[in-house]
Amino acid sequence: MYAIEVEHLNKSFAVGKEQVQVLKDLSFGVEKEDFLSIMGPSGCGKSTLLYLLGG
């Protein structure tokens, strides 16, 4: 069993009339006592993922 488990997570924002998909079918598991770094360029969705994990 994972401490954190994400299955097929999608997130999009409405920007005007458009939907901008930020997270696309994202799946991963984090084991208890794992250390995890989330890396990527500015705007790739790191903060969005953390907000969603926080509920």
Ligand X SMILES: Nc1ncnc2c1ncn2[C@@H]1O[C@H](COP(=O)(O)OP(=O)(O)O)[C@@H](O)[C@H]1O
Cβ proximity to Mg ion, 11 vs 46, nearer residue: 46
CB of 33 to Mg ion, least distance (A): 25
Cβ proximity to ligand X, 1 vs 19, nearer residue: 19
Q: Is 47 in the site for Mg ion (CB under 5 A)?
A: yes
Which string of DSSP letters, residue by residue, matches 1-54?
Answer: --SEEEEEEEEEEEETTEEEEEEEEEEEEE-TT--------TTSSHHHHHHHHT
State which of residues 16, 43, 54, 55 lies at the interface with ligand X (CB under 6 A).
43
